[in-house]
Amino acid sequence: MTPKLQDFGSIDPVQTVDVVVLGAGAAGLMAAIEAGRRGRRTVVLDHAERIGKKILISGGGRCNFTNVNARAENFLSRNPHFAKSALARFTPAGIIALVEKHRIPYHEKTLGQLFCDRSAQEIVTMLQRESDDAGVRILSSTTIHAVKQAADGGNHRFMVETSAGAFRCASVVVATGGLSIPKMGATDFGYRLAEQFGLGIEPCRPALVPLVFAEQERERWCDLSGVSTEVIAAAEVSASTAKLTGSRRAVAFREKMLITHRGLSGPAILQASSYWLPGLSMEMDLAPGTNLTAPLFAKNARRDAASLLAPLRAALPARLAERWLAVQPPQGWTNAALEKFERSLHAWRIAPAGTEGYLKAEVTAGGVSTDELHAATMESRKVAGLYFIGEVVDVTGWLGGYNFQWAWASGAAAGRSA
> Which domains, and CATH codes, for the chain?
14-204+365-415 (3.50.50.60), 211-355 (2.40.30.10)
pLDDT tens, position by position, 32-61: 999 999 999 999 999 999 999 999 999 999
Distance CA 416, CA 418 (A): 6
Q: In the predicted model, what is the mean pLDDT of the chain?
A: 94
Contacts for 305-310: CB closer than 8 Å, 24+ residues apart = 305/329, 308/341
Distance CA 124, CA 132 (A): 12
Q: Which pLDDT value is given to residue 155? A: 77
Query: 6 pLDDT exceeds 80?
Result: no
In this prediction, residue 152 has a pLDDT band, given cuts at 50, 70 and 90, of: low
Distances in whole angstroms, Cα of residue 173 to Cα of each of 20, 28, 34: 6, 8, 12
pTM beyond 0.85, yes or no? yes
Q: Which pLDDT value is given to residue 146? A: 96
Q: State the helix-helix crossing angle for 92-101 and 121-133, rounded to 10 degrees.
A: 90
In this prediction, residue 9 has a pLDDT band, given cuts at 50, 70 and 90, of: very low
Three-class SS of residue 44?
strand
The answer to whether 402 and 70 are in contact (CB under 8 A) is: yes
What is the β-pairing status of strands 201-207 and 211-212?
unpaired
Residues above pLDDT 90, as percent of the chain: 93
The answer to whether 190 and 378 are in contact (CB under 8 A) is: no
